[in-house]
Amino acid sequence: MKQLVIFCLLCLYFSSAHSAIIIFSNGDTINAEVIERTDTSIKISHSAMGEIDIPTNQISTIDGKVFAAKPIDPPEAQQIDVASAEQQADTKESGETKKIDESSGLFGVNYRPLRDWEHKLGGGFNGKNGNTNTETRHVEYRGNFENKQKRWDIRAIYDFNDGDEDDAQNEYYLQDTRDWLRPDSEWFYFASGKYEWDEFSSWDYRITGVAGSGYEFIKRKDLLVLGRLGLAAKQTVGGSNPGLDPEFMLGGDVNKTFSDVHSVKFKTAFFQGLSNTGWRNISTLDWDIVVNELWGLGLNLGLENEYESIPDDGDVNNDFKYKLSFVWAWGGKDGDS
């Protein structure tokens, strides 16, 4: 009778536990008896360690069978995922997820055409010594963009004076420069175009196109020094010397950032006529000062000088301008595109 009772107890024990080979996710292996199993853990009995509970996400196989269990995220991670999903759902429109813009510009305005460009819109006062000696008002736009493949520089200026007929002045020019960059080289190619209209010049308007190659002597985050060499064609309409003139161009740019609120840009270009002995030089200097970075407000002090060795009849050799502008800047912080 005693032997029968012992046999029954052994049967009950082996019916609730069995020996198994357990391989953990880190590669360790043990031979233990599996006593109990749940969705999150198993209880084993080991000869040396005794009875212990093991999380299921730490087990790779049991008796050669894959025992895959998805790790359970902590409550904090679950909350973050839920919040992220809700945020993505709220920002979706027409099947696309909108990018959150941290820089909204003046008065919270989020209208930003050409988003990856740096834009500067300004207006103020300027003076001129040359063909006329006047003080005028002006409006100006500057746009810049750069990534690993290309660099753009656009500038448009309109000077005006609505005074008497004798001192009224209207000038306008638009200039666009495109650089084709090579990530593995300091050399690059460029093309530039400029349209000029000036009531106080003898000519009616002038168009200049340039194409050539450039070299970046220094390129750092705070300093860019480069040179340009190319061929130009100048088309003049009106004046004493109208027509198309081929030119040889040599120039350079220097962009220096002193701090988050001070930067200077200098550009110069010399044009030598190929069909005559005349030459000309155009140089500009811009000193930008940030007054309120949050709203993008600042000041611009600028100088511009144009010299022609053989000016048109009635014009002088040197045309010098100086200006003070109040500037609204936005964009240029979203990264490459």
Phi/psi for 335 (5° steps) reads 95, -175
pLDDT higher than 60, residue 12: no
Of 34-38, 189-193, 243-247, 267-271, give the lowest mean pLDDT range: 34-38
What span, in angstroms and rounded, lies between the C-alpha atoms of 301 and 287?
A: 5
Please, what's the b/e burial string for 46-61 (b: 16 or more CB within 10 A of its CB; e: otherwise)?
eeeeeeeebebebbbb
- pLDDT band at 17; cut points 50, 70, 90: very low
- pLDDT band at 333; cut points 50, 70, 90: low
- Higher-confidence residue of 187 and 83: namely 187
Percentage of residues in the chain having pLDDT higher than 70: 73
> Strand order of the sheet with strand 29-37?
50-55, 41-46, 29-37, 18-24, 59-62, 65-66
CB 157 within 8 A of CB 181: no
Region 292-307: mean pLDDT is 93
Average pLDDT in the chain: 79
Percentage of residues in the chain having pLDDT higher than 90: 45
SS3 content of the chain, % helix, strand, coil (to 5): 10, 60, 30
pLDDT higher than 70, residue 205: yes
Predicted TM-score (pTM) above 0.75: no
**Structural domains of the chain in order of their starting residue, each with its CATH number:** 2-66 (2.30.30), 114-331 (2.40.128.130)
- pLDDT band at 38; cut points 50, 70, 90: confident
pLDDT in tens, 53-81: 888 788 877 776 766 544 444 444 334 34
